[in-house]
Amino acid sequence: MKKHEVSLDVVAAIGGLGINPRYEYVLGRYSGVGVDLNIGIFDNDDNFEYIETFSLTPYYRQYFFSKEDYGAKGFYGEGFVKVFTFDDGYYENDIFGSGSYRTESYTELPSVLV
Which pTM was predicted?
0.71
Q: How many CB atoms are located within 10 Å of the residue 43 CB?
A: 11
| Confidence (pLDDT) at 74 | 78
pLDDT in tens, 22-59: 999 999 888 999 999 998 876 655 555 567 788 999 99
Asked if 85 contacts 78 with a C-beta cutoff of 8 angstroms, the reply is no
Domain edges within the chain: 4-108
- Entry field: residues in the chain: 114
Tell me the mean pLDDT in the region 87-112: 74
Q: Which amino acid is at 8?
A: L
CA–CA separation, 114 and 99 (whole Å):
45
Higher local confidence (pLDDT), 82 or 44: 82
Higher local confidence (pLDDT), 84 or 34: 34
Which residues does 100 contact at the CB level (< 8 Å), separation at least 6?
A: 91, 92
CA–CA separation, 104 and 40 (whole Å):
16
Higher local confidence (pLDDT), 92 or 82: 82
Is residue 113 very low, low, confident or very high in pLDDT (cuts 50, 70, 90)? Answer: very low
Is residue 114 very low, low, confident or very high in pLDDT (cuts 50, 70, 90)? Answer: very low
Is residue 84 very low, low, confident or very high in pLDDT (cuts 50, 70, 90)? Answer: confident
Q: Which amino acid is at 63?
A: Y
The enclosing H or E element of 57 equals: strand 50-64
